[in-house]
Amino acid sequence: MAVDDIIQLPTHQIYEQMPMDFDQDANGPDAEVDASSVPTVALPLRFIFVKHHPHAKQPNEIISLDSAPSTPPLPDDNPRSPPLSNARPWRPFITYSDYKFTSRCVQRRTPNAEIDEDLNDLHTQAFSSDCFITFRTHRDMEKSLAAARTSNISFCRKTLTIDFDGTAFGGTYEVEVEFRDPWQIMKQWVSDETLAPVSTWFSQEKYYCKNGTIDLSDQLYDEPWTGRNWKYADDSLPADDLYPSCYLGLHVWLDKGLVSTKVKMHPILFRGCWIHSATRNGSGNGGSALAGFVKMPPGLRQIDPNTLTGSSRSEYDRLKRMIYRGVCHLVMASLEQRSHHGEALRFGDGITRIAYPGVLIESMDFEELAAWLAIRNSMSLHPCPQCLAHKNDLPRLTRSFTKRTSESMSCALARAPIPKTERNEYLKQYGLHDFEHFLWNFNNSDPYKATGYDCLHFFDGGIWGRHMWPLIKGCLQRDGLASKFNTNMDKFPRWRDLKHFSSPTTIDYSDGQTFLDILKSSLPCIVQLLPANSCLVRLIRVMTKVRALLGLEVTLDSRLAHLHKFIAEYERICNDVSETHNKSLNFLKQHFLSHAINCFKDKGTSRNQNTRVGEGFQQEIAAQYKKTNGKDAEHQMSIMDENEETMARLDMKVDEWRKSQEDDEKDPVLPHAVTSHWKLGSADARMTSTRIETVNRSNSLYRDFNMRLREYLAEYHPNHPVHEDQNIEVGALLKSFVFNLASVSQVEPCKVLYVDFQSKVDWNNGRDILRCNPMFHGRQRYDSVIYEAQDDNLAMGQLQLVFRCHLPRNISLDLAMIRPYRKSSWAARTRTDCPMREWSPGSIFIALEHVTRGALLCPIFGAPREVFYVIDCVDGDMFLRVNNID
Ligand SMILES: [Zn+2]
């Protein structure tokens, strides 16, 4: 059936998520209805059209976007049998108290002595007369924990023997590997019924449709299953088996981290890409699983590779690569055959499918990635993990190069000449080391396709934090402008979630987020400091635009087309910067930007690929390490990890059970219309409008407040003070109304305004908390808003007073007095496309129902008059909204 035929389907109503069946005959009661008697389907104005992969055997869906859902819709709303309604979900713990006590001890990693002390006090009635904990000592608790752990995937130990041929490091190495079988981990996730509602087993193609018609031209990418790689994997699996074939993509994260000042560990984490990001990237059940540690053998651990030179360095690197490869292969081995032939599993939703595991996404820093992929280092001829770009071509961001694939790389290795020197020279042309990659033999696990684009490391902390910001900072310092710049940054208006810096040029090293916040704030602080037509100012502007689109959690082909345009603009400006400031652009992170768009189309948006998701884990293992005695620490930590995971899974079951109990007791919530998208808070005492005017007489914006408010109410809210049966002519109405208002009306000023809005990024609810406060954390703060004016739905103004206006007959109106901005055509020293505003004269009243959301505007420091930049890069919604993208 053609896509256009969909509107002929006999369906009465569009629901928020409406299943629509293209491939099968419609069944159920609707199918009986004579098509001619049924009106054609009225599609929502804007919606997401979801095409499930044929293996899913699910009808296509329409998700309406006409209003923001109160909770994000789950793509899979298969009814589930209510689990655990009458069970004791805390089993094998004897009582709920036993479970709760253990959960807390495990979470806090309480030492045994303290557990015993607490138990003793509990049982000797020091705290209460009734104690439901059955444990007497930590040993009893350990027994219950051990019983609970049996449902867990245990760590196993294997020893890998590596014979290494070399002069500096030659010898036989015994590498101990303590790891958990990834297949067992995946099986547990897949069969866990509590994870089924947050899992999507098959790839989907999603399309953003507007104008009320189905249009497959603007594809949407968010979670990994919306990417092309998953679809290709699904396509490659058998379609005609008894059970449906299902690809299970794994996210592999590998990094080194210092767990103490001396000890470095290399944990490997797995995530199930089919689990929704909120759960997958969280720390509870369904979040990351520690698969093991790549542990350097004793003797190698103490070596600092930076002190090695020449052949010993390359020998050390070769040995390290062999260890990496050996350990990773050993850990992943159970997936190899299954990636080709699959294995039947009963999934958490009760359906049996043939599961084919594979590696879908790898998140690693370059050093780890190079070791994992067995490619040459960042200084080699062809250093990119994804393509064969020559090192001199790295700055050419809009050119594409031959992609690396498992096939092409294994062919290159096979074709390499045997004699050592020629072989080495030949492999250099491919940036390869002389290694067969173990993933070449896995199905649907191309290790080059699986490398992601990591915004945090490649852009925030990389191109900007390591290269462009230091260049700009250096120029400011050299020209004696750094202090002036810092003074401007100190005056940058405060905004929620944007870190404020009073002296950014004195920060030498920081994380990606800090650098990102500096980038977002820089433009108004620097534009009048640097010489006219400065390429550095244009660089800052274009980088904020690129970054705004890189960071979107939901993206579209149309948004990526804008990103492509911005990257091309960035490339041109970079060439200017390179010429003017002698800045080399030949570095890998610059080049990675050229892969970003395809990475998002292949694997979903950047949040699926950031290494940031593993960084919380580094802190976790550092904390775990502190609780060990340092001896065989990895082993002690793996036990701790098992305990935490066990309890996290029990926590989820107990939570669900508690919720099911609550649901039985509560009345069902009736559907209700949420009429207002704003809330007022932190109210002051009520005052009459004349009193407000008197109190603020020194402020010209309050001039004639009382009279202007009355005029505003008469014009925009003429119906409020009068009942419908009072049929009075307009002039008389106005007169009596003004009289009433003057005598009774009161104004209740508020200092905080909450505004809910539908985010342009993912169409879910967003919320701004806006301040209108003469003294907020020691300084005055008057935030700005975007509001709908008659001729402009992007009108902006600064809040001066937010208040509830109490009118006669118990009528109240929520209003704001704002200082409106208007567009400005003033020319800064360097012109950019960053939107500008200046003040319109005076102040006006607006109803809060017309406020769309908050806005951040910053004065352009050093301008001869008050002109502002709209800080459109402050979040994704603001950027799309202000620049009118989709
Ligand atoms: Zn490349």
Q: Which of helix, strand or coil describes residue 141?
A: helix
- Three-point CA angle 86, 88, 91, nearest 5°: 155
Residue 352 backbone phi and psi in degrees, to 5: -90, 130
Tokens 């607490």 locate to 118
Could you tell me if 255 and 611 are in contact, meaning their C-beta atoms sit under 8 angstroms apart?
yes
Dihedral sign, Cα of residue 323, residue 326, residue 327, residue 328 = positive
The CA 729 to ligand 1 mean position distance, Å, reads: 74
Contacts of 274 (CB under 8 A, 6+ apart): 190, 199, 200, 201, 224, 225, 248, 249
| pLDDT beneath 70, residues of the chain | 1-41, 68-87, 150-152, 256-265, 283, 611-621, 624, 630, 660-675, 720-745
**Mean pLDDT, rounded, of the chain:** 83
- Give the span between the Cα atoms of 768 and 765, in whole angstroms: 10
Residue type, position 551, single letter: G
Residue 552: C-alpha distances to residues 202, 786, 880 (Å): 23, 21, 10
Tokens of 194: 């509590």
Give the Å distance between the CA of 585 and the centre of ligand 1: 14
Q: Are 813 and 748 in contact (CB under 8 A)?
A: no
CA distance 844 to 275: 50
Transcribe 725-777 into DSSP letters.
Answer: T----HHHHHHHHHHHHHHH-EEEEEEEEEEEEE-TTTSSEEEEEEEEEEEET
Secondary structure element (H or E) that encloses residue 342, with its range: none
CA 256 / ligand 1 centre spacing (Å):
24
Q: What is the pLDDT of residues 3-56, one digit of tens each?
A: 433 333 333 333 334 444 443 333 433 333 344 444 456 889 999 999 999 999
SS3 content of the chain, % helix, strand, coil (to 5): 40, 20, 40
d(CA 624, CA 755) in angstroms, rounded, equals 41
Ligand 1 mean position, distance from CA 404 (Å): 9
- Ligand 1 centre from 458 Cα, in Å? 13
Tell me the CA–centroid distance for residue 386 and ligand 1, in Å.
5
62: CB partners within 8 A, 6+ apart: 14, 17, 18, 20, 43, 44, 47, 48, 49, 50
Residue type, 746: Q
686 alpha carbon to ligand 1 midpoint, in Å? 64
Q: Which two tokens stand for residue 787?
A: 């509001």
Q: How far is the CA of 384 from the centre of ligand 1 (A)?
A: 5
Query: How far are the Cα atoms of 184, 325, 336, 513 from residue 155, in angstroms, in the given order?
Result: 11, 20, 20, 35
pTM: 0.82
- The CA 360 to ligand 1 mean position distance, Å, reads 18
Q: How far is the CA of 306 from the centre of ligand 1 (A)?
A: 26
Structure tokens at 446: 């191309």
pLDDT of residue 38: 41
Helices 112-123 + 138-149 axis angle, to 10: 110
pLDDT at 320: 82
Are 339 and 358 spatial neighbours (Cβ–Cβ below 8 Å)?
Answer: yes
Q: Would you say 48 and 1 are in contact if contact means Cβ atoms under 8 Å apart? A: no
φ, ψ of residue 258 in degrees (nearest 5): -85, 120
The Å distance, Cα 797 to ligand 1 centre, comes to 45
Rounded to the nearest whole angstrom, what is the distance from the C-alpha of residue 232 to the centroid of ligand 1?
21
Q: How far is the CA of 628 from the centre of ligand 1 (A)?
A: 42
Backbone angles phi, psi at 406, to 5 degrees: -55, -40
